[in-house]
Each structure stands twice: as C-alpha cells, then as structure tokens.
Amino acid sequence: MFHILKRMTAGLLAAAATVAFAAGASAQSGEPIKIGFAMSLTGPLAANGKQALLGAKIWEETVNKKGGLLGRQVKLVYYDDQSNSSQVPGIYTKLLDVDKVDLVVGPYATAQIAPAMPVVMQKGKVFVSLFGLAVNSEFKYDKYFAMIPTGPDPKPAFTIGFFEVAAAQNPKPKTVALVAADQEFSKNACDGARTNAKQFGFNVVYDKTYPPSTTDFTPIVRAIQASNPDIVTICSYPLDSVGMVKAINEVGFKPKMIGGAMVGLQATVFKQQLGPLLNGIVNYETWVPAKTMETPGVVEFLKTYQAKAGAEGVDPLGYYLGTWGYGYMEVLEAGIVGAKSIDDTKIAQWLHANPVKTIMGEIKFGKDGEWATARMLQVQYHSVKSGALDQFRGMDTQTVLAPADLKTGDVIYPYEKAK
C-alpha cells in the first residue's frame, strides 16, 4: 500500500511540474505582446494614416519572422479614428480596458495625439507618438516620446528653414503673411512661424486662422494678396493644403516665396493630383530619396513597402509616413529589448537614457521626449508635370534647400520663376 501511495504521489508531482512548466512557457511564448493604437484610415488624414499603418504592419511581420520580442510574438491591435479627434479617447480606453493591450503607441497627427494623452497618462503607459507637434509642451509627461524630427524646440522647427532661405535672398524680403487652420498642429506651427519671423526681422502684415471646415480658399488667398506680403507662410492640414495650392494658382497670386508648413503635399496622391500647380512651392518634408538620406535599412524597407502598396491601396512610394510608421515601432522595440521588459516605466527610462537606431537614422530623446537634434527639411517643388508617378521617385522634381548639410541645390526665386 505504501509503495502504491508513493508511486501516486510521484505521478502527481510530475504532473504538477509539467503543468507549471507549460504555464511558464505559455507566459513567455504563448500570448503575443499586444500593441494598441488608433490610426486615421478614413477621412482627410487617411492618405497619410494608411501608409503609416502599412509601415507598422511590415514592422510586425519583420519582428515576428525574427522570433518576436522577449520570446513572444507581437500583435498590432488598431482602430480607425476616422480623422476625428473626438473618437480617440474612446479608442484608447477600449484598447486598455477591454482589449487589455500590453502597450500603446500614438495615432498619427497632433490633433489626434493630444486627446489620447489624458487616457495614456492616467494609465501610466509609455507613449511613442507619430508626427505630433509640441504635444508634450503642456503635459510634460515623462513617458512620452515624439517620432518627429522637429528637435528640442519643435514649434519653430517646421518653418525655420523657410525663413532661413528667405532671409538669405538679395535683396532680402521684408514682409510676411501668416495663415493657419484653427487646429492644434497648425496653430503650434504658426506660433513657431511668428518666432521665426521675429528672429529673422520680418514684418508680419497678415496673421489669421481659418475654420477647419473651410472648403473655399479663394477668399483667404485674395485677403492675403491684398496685404501685399513678400513671403507667405501657410500652416495647413492635407485637404486645406490642396485647396490653398489650387486657390493660389487660380488667383494668380505670386509672392516671392510661399509654403512652409503645409501638411499633405508630402503624399504622392496629392503630388499627382496637383501636378504643375506645385511648382515653386517651398515646403517642409521629413525624408526625401536623396543619397544623403539613405540610412541603413530604409532602401530595403521601401522595396518591401512598395511591393505591398498596390494591394493595400496606399501611397505607392511611402516616403512620408510609411517609413515613419515603421520607424516609430522600432523606437518601442528598442525600448522593450533594451529594458528586457514590457514594463512601461522601465521602457521609458531606457529610451531617455539611450540612443535608438531606426531606418530613419539614430535618435536621441531630450526634453519633453522630443528629439535632441532637429532634422526637418525645407524643399522646393519644381519641374512637376501632370500625372506621372515616376517623376517623384527621385530628386528631379524637388530640391532640398535646408538644412545646409542636406542641401541639394538653390531656391528658384522669386516663386513665379518656377511656374
């Protein structure tokens, strides 16, 4: 009887050990690390949001092929915020309370990121955002990290190159008009443009905002034209930018320089739609296919992205948000691997203390989670013809004017010479 009990006890212990081992293995390799976010997949921000999502999905696929992170696969959980900022708080609440995601990253665009911040902060989550301008300047959240190359002084960064180029002309232009959409990004960028105008000694002769619901930009352009500025800085969202460019050409407005912080013109769909109407515009970009910007990994990524773009129905080139959608996931990956943990505090501490290598170059985070060094571009569009996609694959239709270390040519000045 004693021997029977001994054998039964040994069997039960062995079974318990097997169950314990299986439970441990499941914790390490069974459940994926779930990463949640909102993204604009419909509405006016969708042209950029959809390519950012494809970039993130390529990152997910790449990481999982390599075995995942911390011995676990990764899984993206995302919802369409419809380019509507009022949808964002509910999405992040659902991700954290219902879907029980392990980590979150930001949606795309300042107007979408800002309303997510209170939810994320309340939960103490690390938060890598995608193209949010100075979002953390008010919140001062120590687990926030901005994936946007605006540097430690983000508001002026969007237009400082524009003003540098204008100020270098001989004779130097003297007056500037400022116009912005009445939305968070645009107002932040316009705050920076005022700072730059003052720094470079320009007299502001027009400074107004317009409602986000505006569809007819001709009256706005005529009002700016009536103030007779030498240069014009426009801080706008995608559909506004398209409307502004069309109105500028329709009215025949020809200041010496115009552009600056027009979101949307970076997307291939809008470049193709506007064609020659773009010629002469000076505007920000964050990456262009110049040899000086081909960092390790970016060419390989773009081959993968462009092979998938047609089936996904997204921007065929992916230069603007496809690359950055992959890159901001690389930031979170680096934090997880560096901290050897998915604990939000440990990830944030590691990201504050260490540089991160991404396909967009090496990044060091500084104050408020902004980049320690700015890397924004100002380019001028020129020689753009109607329709053809291939003209945008290289540098034939754009010249990098600033910063000086990435410059590829000189500005065509005044603006009408590029028409």
- Per-residue model confidence as pLDDT tens digits over 316-337: 999 999 999 999 999 999 999 9
The total number of structural domains in the chain stands at: 2
What's the pLDDT at 296? 82
Q: What's the rounded Cα separation, in Å, for the pair 305 and 140?
A: 35
Q: Which pLDDT score, from 0 to 100, does residue 250 have? A: 98
What average pLDDT score do residues 6-29 get?
39
Residue 17 lies in a domain: no
Helices 298-312 & 321-339, crossing angle to 10 degrees? 120
The answer on 210 and 101 residing in a single domain is: no
Q: Give the pLDDT score at 6.
A: 38
pLDDT class for 30, splitting at 50, 70, 90?
confident
% pLDDT > 70, the chain: 93
Q: Report pLDDT for 29.
A: 52
Residue 300 domain flag: yes
pLDDT at 97: 98
125 and 49 in a common domain: yes
Whether 279 and 169 map to the same domain: the answer is: yes
Residue 184 has pLDDT above 70, yes or no: yes
Specify the CATH number for the domain of residue 213: 3.40.50.2300
Reported confidence tier of residue 121, pLDDT bands at 50, 70, 90 = very high
Q: Would you say residue 266 has pLDDT above 80?
A: yes
Residue 260 has pLDDT above 70, yes or no: yes
Identify the domain containing residue 360 by its residue range. 31-149+293-369
Whether 242 and 388 map to the same domain: the answer is yes
Same-domain status, 299 and 201: no
Residue 123 in this model has a pLDDT that exceeds 70: yes
163 and 217 assigned to the same domain? yes
Number of residues written out for the chain: 419
pLDDT, tens digit, for every residue of 146-183? 999 999 999 999 999 999 999 999 999 999 999 999 99
Whether 263 and 302 map to the same domain: the answer is no
> Does residue 307 sit within a domain?
yes
360, with CB counted inside 10 A (0-12, 13-18, 19+), is buried
Q: At 65, is the pLDDT very low, low, confident or very high (cuts 50, 70, 90)?
A: very high
Q: What is the pLDDT of residues 289-301, one digit of tens each?
A: 998 898 889 999 9
Q: What mean pLDDT is reported for the chain? A: 93
Task: At 173, give phi and psi (nearest 5°).
Answer: -65, 155
Q: Please check whether residues 160 and 228 belong to one and the same domain.
A: yes
pLDDT tops 80 at residue 231: yes
Tell whether 176 and 302 lie within a shared domain: no
- Point out which residues pair with 357 in neighbouring strands: 362
pLDDT of 33 > 70? The answer is: yes
Amino acid at 328: Y
| Mean pLDDT value across residues 88-96 | 98
Q: With a cut of 80, say whether residue 212 has pLDDT above it.
A: yes
Cβ–Cβ < 8 Å for 353, 85: no
In a domain, 8, yes or no: no
pLDDT number for residue 199: 98
In a domain, 164, yes or no: yes
Residue 17, pLDDT > 70, answer no
Q: What is the pTM of this model?
A: 0.89
Q: For helices 88-97 and 110-123, what crossing angle results, to 10°?
A: 30
Q: Is 60 exceeded by the pLDDT of residue 27?
A: no
On whether residue 397 sits in a domain, the answer given is: yes
pLDDT, tens digit, 9 for 90 and up, residues 335-365: 999 999 999 999 999 999 999 999 999 999 9
> What average pLDDT does this structure show over 269-293?
95
Using CA atoms, how far apart are residues 298 and 293, in angstroms rounded to an integer? 9
Rounded to a whole number of angstroms, the distance between the first and last alpha carbons of the chain is 101
**Identity of the highest mean pLDDT range in 11-15, 255-259, 292-296:** 255-259
Measured distance CA(288)–CA(294) in Å, rounded:
9
Residues 264 and 300 in one domain: no
Give domain status of residue 112, yes or no.
yes
- Are 302 and 278 contained in the same domain? no
pLDDT average, residue stretch 391-407: 96
Q: Is residue 5 part of a domain?
A: no
Contact 342, 103 (CB under 8 A): yes
**Within this chain, do residues 210 and 318 fall inside the same structural domain, yes or no?**
no
What pLDDT is recorded for position 3? Answer: 39
